[in-house]
């Protein structure tokens, strides 16, 4: 995306050891060049958009990545009893700190140790796979986001969004978790940050995650 020969060690932009440091000094972009790693508040004018991978190799091109200031989503919420487990995801896409993103593909994750004699299996609602030498299981559950995923409802005058958090409920008995063990819950979403540079919209895609929260089933 940028011709690396234009960058010089004396350029008046911060040099860092890793892109994570760009977040600490509150800059939006990080560029990895042969001489150093730099932080930018805006994409420099000498950077030319280039999506041709073959040309990037021949022209000695370096890439710039977007560094989000707030990197974690709100924690998931729980309502747990003997008959039902409800996990809710806050409506993060309406929060001011995330309004610059376009979101898609929201997924909820459950991690738990497998009860002896049980399997880590999938069904029509979620996919699963075993980890840690088949000792633990991870469920991946797709979750629809109101208005964002309801594409067919955009022109439907009868579509109704009740403004509640995104939630799923099921019996805790269907989770083959080992006795006296906790389940860990978190979620992730794919996000796109659009920056217009030299009259060209640039799409910076990155996954965002919530912190993991542990709960013991009743």
Model confidence, pTM = 0.81
137 and 131 Cβ atoms separated by less than 8 Å: yes
215 and 80 Cβ atoms separated by less than 8 Å: yes
Mean pLDDT of the chain: 83
| Interval 3-60: pLDDT, tens | 555 554 445 577 899 988 998 888 899 988 877 888 988 888 877 776 655 555 545 5
Boundaries of every domain in the chain: 2-66, 72-216
| Per-residue H/E/C for the chain | CEEHHHCCCCCCCCEECCCHHHHHCCCCEEEECCCCEEEECCCCCCECCCCCHHHHHHCCEECEEECCCCCEECCCEEEECCCCEEEEECCHHHCHHHCCEEEEEEEEEEEEEECCCCCCCCCCCCEEEEECCCCEEEEEEEECCCCCCCHHHCCCCCCCCCCCCEEEEECHHHCCECCCCEEEEEEEEEEEEEEEECCEEEEEEEEEEECCEEEECC
Does residue 218 have a pLDDT over 90? no
Among the ranges given (55-64, 75-84, 157-166, 207-216), the one the predictor scored with the smallest mean pLDDT:
55-64
């Amino acid at each position: 995306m940028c011709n690396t020969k234009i960058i010089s060690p004396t350029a008046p932009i911060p040099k860092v050891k890793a892109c994570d440091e760009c977040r600490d000094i509150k800059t939006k972009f990080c560029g990895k060049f042969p001489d150093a790693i730099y932080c930018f508040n805006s994409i420099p004018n000498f950077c030319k958009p280039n999506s041709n991978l073959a040309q990037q190799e021949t022209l000695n091109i370096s890439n710039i990545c977007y560094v989000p200031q707030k990197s974690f989503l709100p924690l998931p919420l729980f309502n747990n009893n003997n008959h039902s487990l409800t996990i809710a995801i806050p409506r993060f896409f309406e929060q001011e700190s995330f309004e610059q993103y376009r979101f898609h593909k929201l997924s909820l994750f459950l991690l738990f140790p497998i009860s002896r004699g049980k399997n880590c299996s999938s069904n029509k609602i979620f996919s699963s796979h075993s980890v840690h030498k088949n000792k633990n299981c991870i469920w991946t559950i797709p979750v629809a986001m109101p208005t964002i995923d309801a594409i067919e409802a955009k022109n439907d005058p009868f579509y109704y969004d009740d403004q509640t958090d995104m939630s799923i409920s099921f019996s805790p008995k269907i989770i083959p978790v080992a006795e006296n063990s906790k389940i860990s819950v978190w979620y992730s979403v794919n996000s796109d940050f659009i920056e217009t540079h030299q009259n060209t919209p640039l799409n910076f895609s990155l996954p965002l995650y919530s912190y993991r929260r542990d709960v013991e089933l009743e």
